[in-house]
Structure 1
Amino acid sequence: MPSTRRRPAPRQAEADRNDRELLRAAREVLAEDGAHASVAAIAARAGVGIGSLYRRYPTKDDLFRHLVDLSLDHWVAVLEAAGAEADAWTALSVFLTQGLESDSSGSLAAIAGTVEITPAMRAKDDRSEAMLTALVQRAHDAGVLRPDVSTSDMWALVEQLTPAPMIEQLRKRGLADQLPAAAAARRRVIAIVLDGLRAPGSPLPDAPPPKAVFDRRWETG
């Protein structure tokens, strides 16, 4: 039987495309300019008129808040996929590889403390924290994760590895032909990091970072 699923109307399809381009451009401009990224630069990078941007996102804060919300959704989805794995080490590997190899998250550390975190967003963050804690505990119980690695260590790894300077620089300079090699280099780095997480490992210096290191930066006011 032919599919009864309706295709989006041309105008809606164009709006959806513009939104995807705006979000992609916003991540790229944020990676280059940080919290000072301008909506004009984002619209220009996306090839979208500034009026179209403001119709979708009335303020820059609205755009940035949506990016943070999408990032939270991204990590919840990745952790759900990881948690479905039967093998403890595979689950942890899925968390890092799927989470870091996707362009849908991006580094948003530059806007920490500049956007309001809503109760719904906080709930997503709490959920991802609980799911990652469960993955780490599974890996510890299975004896595959070095015993001195904590949940906060894993989040710290994600934050340190989420920026991809080589890829960002190549994109900025229009060297698209080099992007596949840069992506392959990133996959190698992630594999090296995973290997370093395996038990038993050499003793790590200092204590794991406290959760406040991550949370306090997102407080506004």
Structure 2
Amino acid sequence: MRNDRLLLDAAREVFAAHGASASVALVAARAGLGIGSLYRRYGSKTELLQRLCVLSMQEAVDAATDALELPDAADALAGYIRTCVALRIGSLSPLAGTIETTPEMLSFALRARDLHDRLVKRAHRDGRLRADVTPMDINWLISQFARTSPVAEADDADRILHQRLLGVAIDGLFTAEPSPLPGPPPTTAHYENRWHTARSDAGGPQPPAA
């Protein structure tokens, strides 16, 4: 079990940084394990990538579920964003369109989207979240910061800088007198269509975050 978690953590970091073209040998080396150990757990690179996406979306579901239990809607949304970034949820967007979407991926994606949308709508009803921010804006914000999270070997200065900028971005969601956002809001189709592949036969919406 411990080795499996080491592999998945290493895979998330490697594929987030290098995309789907990264080798499984690099993943195994990053985890400090042999390539044979990796293939005993995952029969192919695609299987590893699909498992990684499911894990990421399951973590998003857990983060949103916990956040919805908090009484303050704004604090709940801000905490959810920080948790997702810390877990690097959304950092796997370079994989979009490179692997087939499985029914399990789709199931978790739909659940994660529903909870995510509920968090944003609750913050709007509370009157704290700026009116022009949509659930998709929050998705993209999480993805951008997750993808730029410092690697394990980064020094404290890089980590602090990343947290400072994330704090600025989150505060901007709740500013009392916001400047108008440019252009139309991002669409769900724009976000999800990245996950379509020629071989995907799952149908319906594709994963909103991984």
TM-score by length of 1: 0.83
Aligned counterpart, 1:97: 82
Residues 184 and 160 (structure 1), Cα distance of their counterparts in 2 relative to 1, 3 Å cut: same
Q: CA RMSD in A?
A: 1.6
- In the alignment, which of 188, 199, 213 is matched to residue 164 of structure 2? 188
What is the letter of the counterpart of residue 186 of structure 1? H
Residues 12-64 of structure 1: per-residue CA shift (max 9 Å, x gap) = xxxx2221221122122213321111111111221211111111001000000
Aligned counterpart, 2:206: none
Q: Distance in 2 between matches of 1:163 and 1:205?
A: 23
Between 124-133 and 152-161, the greater mean CA deviation after superposition: 124-133
Higher RCO, Cα 8 Å, sep 6+: 2
Q: Secondary structure at the match of 2:155?
A: helix
Counting matched residue pairs gives 197
Aligned counterpart, 1:134: 118
Between 105-114 and 203-212, the greater mean CA deviation after superposition: 105-114
* Larger Rg, first or second structure (1 or 2): 1
Point out where structure 2 has 5 or more consecutive residues left out of the alignment: 199-210
Aligned counterpart, 1:215: 192
Q: Distance in 1 between matches of 2:178 and 2:84?
A: 23
Q: Secondary structure at the match of 2:19?
A: helix
What aligned pairs does 1:56-135 form with structure 2 within 5 A after superposition?
A: 56-103=41-88, 105=89, 107-135=91-119
Aligned counterpart, 2:137: 153
Q: Distance in 2 between matches of 1:163 and 1:52?
A: 27
Q: Distance in 1 between matches of 2:65 and 2:156?
A: 28
How far the C-alpha of 1:164 sits from its partner, in A, is 2.2
Q: Distance in 1 between matches of 2:48 and 2:195?
A: 16
* Alpha-carbon contact 1:96-1:190 (below 8 Å) kept: no
- In the alignment, which of 174, 178, 181 is matched to residue 204 of structure 1? 181
Point out where structure 1 has 5 or more consecutive residues left out of the alignment: 1-15
Q: Distance in 2 between matches of 1:52 and 1:135?
A: 40
Q: Distance in 1 between matches of 2:8 and 2:108?
A: 20
Q: Distance in 1 between matches of 2:177 and 2:71?
A: 22
Q: Secondary structure at the match of 2:147?
A: coil
How far the C-alpha of 1:189 sits from its partner, in A, is 1.5
Residues 152 and 106 (structure 1), Cα distance of their counterparts in 2 relative to 1, 3 Å cut: closer
Aligned: 1:163 with 2:163: no
How far the C-alpha of 1:106 sits from its partner, in A, is 6.0
What is the letter of the counterpart of residue 183 of structure 1? R
What percent of counterpart residues are identical? 42
Q: Distance in 2 between matches of 1:128 and 1:34?
A: 23
